Structure 1
Amino acid sequence: MTAQSRSPTTPTFPGPSQRTPPTPCPVQTPRLGKALIHGWTDPGQPLGEQQRVRRQRTETSEPTMRLHRLRARLSAVACGLLLLLVRGQGQDSASSIRTTHTGQVLGVLVHVRCDLHPLNAPESWSGDLTPVKSEFLSQFNMTYPSVSMSEDCLYLSIYTPAHSHEGSNLPVMVWIHGGALVFGMASLYDGSMLAALEDVVVVIIQYRLGVLGFFSTGDKHATGNWGYLDQVAALRWVQQNIAHFGGNPDRVTIFGESAGGTSVSSLVVSPISQGLFHGAIMESGVALLPGLIASSGDVISTVVANLSSCDQVDSEALVGCLRGKSKEEILAINKPFKMIPGVVDGIFLPRHPQELLASADFQPVPSIVGVNNDEFGWVIPKVMRIYDTQKEMDREASQAALQKMLTLMMLPPTFGDLLMEEYIGDNGDPQTLQAQFQEMMADYMFVIPALQVAHFQCSRAPVYFYEFQHQPSWLKNIRPPHMKADHGDELPFVFRSFFWGNYVKFTEEEEQLSRKMMKYWANFARNGNPNGEGLPHWPLFDQEEQYLQLNLQPAVGRALKAHRLQFWKKTLPQKIQELEEPEERHTEL
């Protein structure tokens, strides 16, 4: 028996204490229909039966079926649904039903009411859930699902190895997707290869995004960080239920990339996530990423008020006005945001992450922190429309692009002048100028924040740092020839597949790099240390600042960007202070 309730059409914002009406959640998910199993084989090496999955319907329970994609209702997170991917044999290898603490799961898409509050766990349900599938279309020689905005946005996906069963106590890896906290989805990622090859349980979660995920008035009327609270709720669900899927709730590692890495890092410093995970992997994103953290929500609430034509006389009136907007109006308000920050809300983040890290007020769990060596090379300039990556950059173009970024990050023009002086100087060669501009922006947005977090955390817990350096071979004819490892380039090597489960054609050397990275990540999930038999040694990041250069031939490096780190931590603040002091004296006179 399946249960359905009509999806709401009116978005709502939270009140101070009461439960609010249902609201849509601004996240992209595939349109869903009747599902097939998504199987795979590995062309790079022969696979045993334990690592092979046939494409077939989830209703079957033949011994050869190893990974089953089932949709199931959320049992302990906020609004929406969880997408459960479990192996078809079920709890006792003869049943396709999993029993969680709030009900049994077989997998049907059930629409449930959605509130913007951080919610209590729902009541248990009865009945079974049946399988669904995504509709696909072909673009750019790859297969993508048809994508739309969904009000039921809170899903998670569980991938388990073929042999797993309740009591297997396998390490659990919970993936948090990126997307500047305004876009992204769980269905972009396929955890089946990582789960099957490395004998771990992979969980991929979703969370509310954009205005409905992170809007804040800075008071009780809209405290903000709803998306982060969704992540906490999902981790609580994992603690309560993952044992039913063969996972060990006492061996949970959270990992994510970009805004997903920022989420992981924010969970490490948040007091309300204590005990929900035991290791953290931050790929190209930490809690200090500029643009993704703010001390207050004043700027965002002002922008939202202007976009919505709501009066900002007081926050209660603003929230009340927003509650009266239609779904289409709320999505229109959300559209202009290229990124949106989390805030210091006093709950999820009691203080700014910089303060929490500096005072060693964070969870001392082992961490992997890393960046790619060309983070601002192609994807981010294109997505943010900062400059044309196909054209040569002259000095005027670099200054214009920098001004766009300063405006976006709400930084003064003086900041830009000092950066141009440090990174570009008098250089006028277009190719060199563009490379230096890209390095400057990559350092500012990703590299320096990652190094700062690593330095803070290594005082209390083991930290392993990496720089991914390999440009994927399948992208060389698509991107400019000077490109190195761009933002997100490591993802296919971690999951051994591209977005939406599209499998890329690795060279033999890339195949080996992918297997090494998967083993590093899985070893870390098993015991808090990425090292293992047959792998190049990965040293701890400590006073010697050693790190691993992840390339076709991994090697150990030392003191990554030491000069640049000194500039950002000491030289730049000192120069800004020197420039501000005469202005302050002039104002006093």
Structure 2
Amino acid sequence: MDATLLAQQGIDWRPVIDGHFIPKDPRDLLRQNVTSGLRYMVGATSHDGSIYTLPFAGIPPTVARQLHLAKNYALGEYRFTTESAAIAFARSTITEYGLIQDPMDPLDLLTRATQQNTDFLFGMPAEESARLNEVGGATTYKYTLSVRYGYPLSYFPKAPSIRAEHFDTAIPFFGVFEEHPDVYSLTAEEMELNRAIRRYVANFAKNGNPNVGDPVTVQWPEYTASSRQFMNLDTPTTVETFDRERQYLFATEVLPAIVRVGKEADEARALSSKGKKCKKKGSKMGKSPRSKKD
């Protein structure tokens, strides 16, 4: 399905504020410390955004196509009526990720575009959620699944620059490799990683701490504002520190600011249009029968 059609259909996967189950914007709820005392685990895969980048990239992939996709995403997601707002959103996004010259090397373009979609739709929301929950008093554990599982080339070839994709979480979390050994031919190291991930999740579910219960080799650190540490689920598994503050600020401050300005432009345009209609209607009503006849 083309991204333009997705935008026209107005697909919106954001939380729905219904006044009951989600009474306010999730960010506002987190700022009110509603998670105080809770235990929270959050994360994403290293290349979650490939599910959107690769199918829509085009053959060959071009910067112009990425601009088109980003603009239509903005139109569909934010319902802009002023097209310039969507264009500003798209241009700032592709510029931030170095998608400037057209044509670009196809592999470089796909790598950058995938990172952009991963950050914007998965990675940075997970980082923001970890930060807000930690500030709100939750004991927080953050991860990134970055292991590169291989598939048979006849089934689903994986691009050279891609490691863990969106649906790869089903392999360690739900054990689909056991049901489909013909598709997932895992190495001994990958099998051990899957077992370790299950131990972490089971420990967290039972004890509120991924390190307590079944023995684990690498201690999963609690996410704090001072450390920004998370578990990198790979072979081998390592503890990493979040070091992409610029991209985080771009996703959580710059783009929302562009959206706000675009919405303000939409509102001003709507008010102006309404004022012109009222003025025109008032002008017609004010005419006398004689003037109408004349």
What TM-score bracket applies, with the shorter chain setting the length? 0.7 to 0.9
Q: Is the Cα–Cα contact under 8 Å of residues 172 and 198 in structure 2 kept in the other structure?
A: yes
In 2, the alpha carbon distance for the partners of 1:355 and 1:493 equals 33
Match of 2:146 in 1: 469
Q: CA-to-partner distance for each residue in 1:493-529, whole Å, 9 max, x for gaps?
A: 1222249x43433211111111111111111112111
Which amino acid in structure 2 is aligned with residue 492 of structure 1? Answer: I
Which amino acid in structure 2 is aligned with residue 451 of structure 1? Answer: E
Match of 1:421 in 2: 95
Which has more helix, going by share of residues? Answer: 2
Indicate which of 472, 482, 502 corresponds to 2:180: 502
Which amino acid in structure 1 is aligned with residue 93 of structure 2? Answer: L
What displacement does 1:429 show? Answer: 2.9
Match of 1:540 in 2: 222
Q: Is the Cα–Cα contact under 8 Å of residues 71 and 89 in structure 2 kept in the other structure?
A: no
In 2, the alpha carbon distance for the partners of 1:473 and 1:507 equals 9
| 1:350-429 matched pairs, under 5 angstroms | 350-362=23-35, 364-377=37-50, 379-381=51-53, 386-388=56-58, 391-410=59-78, 412-427=86-101, 428-429=104-105
Q: CA-to-partner distance for each residue in 1:435-473, whole Å, 9 max, x for gaps?
A: 111111111111111111111111211111011111212
Name the SS of the counterpart of 1:343 in structure 2.
coil
| 1:238-249 matched pairs, under 5 angstroms | none
Q: CA-to-partner distance for each residue in 1:222-267, whole Å, 9 max, x for gaps?
A: xxxxxxxxxxxxxxxxxxxxxxxxxxxxxxxxxxxxxxxxxxxxxx
What displacement does 1:354 show? Answer: 1.9
| 1:106-505 matched pairs, under 5 angstroms | 342-362=15-35, 364-377=37-50, 379-381=51-53, 386-388=56-58, 391-410=59-78, 412-427=86-101, 428-459=104-135, 460-474=137-151, 478-498=157-177, 501-503=179-181, 504-505=184-185
Is 2:240 the partner of 1:561? no
How well do the aligned residues superpose, as a CA RMSD in angstroms? 3.1
Which amino acid in structure 2 is aligned with residue 472 of structure 1? Answer: Y
Q: Is the Cα–Cα contact under 8 Å of residues 424 and 437 in structure 1 kept in the other structure?
A: no
In 1, the alpha carbon distance for the partners of 2:232 and 2:152 equals 20
Name the SS of the counterpart of 2:193 in structure 1.
helix
* CA distance 1:583–1:511, change in 2 (3 Å): closer
Q: CA-to-partner distance for each residue in 1:194-238, whole Å, 9 max, x for gaps?
A: xxxxxxxxxxxxxxxxxxxxxxxxxxxxxxxxxxxxxxxxxxxxx
* CA distance 1:464–1:527, change in 2 (3 Å): same
Unaligned residue ranges in structure 1 (runs of 5+): 1-302, 304-335
Q: Is the Cα–Cα contact under 8 Å of residues 392 and 431 in structure 1 kept in the other structure?
A: no
What displacement does 1:573 show? Answer: 4.2
* CA distance 1:404–1:479, change in 2 (3 Å): farther
In 1, the alpha carbon distance for the partners of 2:94 and 2:208 equals 40
Name the SS of the counterpart of 1:367 in structure 2.
strand
In 1, the alpha carbon distance for the partners of 2:237 and 2:200 equals 12
Which amino acid in structure 2 is aligned with residue 367 of structure 1? Answer: Y
Q: Is the Cα–Cα contact under 8 Å of residues 37 and 138 in structure 2 kept in the other structure?
A: yes
Unaligned residue ranges in structure 2 (runs of 5+): 1-7, 81-85, 273-294
Q: Is the Cα–Cα contact under 8 Å of residues 63 and 100 in structure 2 kept in the other structure?
A: no
Name the SS of the counterpart of 1:489 in structure 2.
helix
Q: CA-to-partner distance for each residue in 1:472-500, whole Å, 9 max, x for gaps?
A: 1225662222222111212211222249x
In 2, the alpha carbon distance for the partners of 1:578 and 1:351 equals 22
Q: What TM-score do you get using the length of structure 1 for normalisation?
A: 0.38
In 1, the alpha carbon distance for the partners of 2:222 and 2:243 equals 14
Relative contact order, higher structure (CA 8 A, sep 6+) = 2
Q: What TM-score do you get using the length of structure 2 for normalisation?
A: 0.73
In 2, the alpha carbon distance for the partners of 1:403 and 1:570 equals 19
- Identity over aligned pairs, percent: 22
In 1, the alpha carbon distance for the partners of 2:21 and 2:263 equals 34
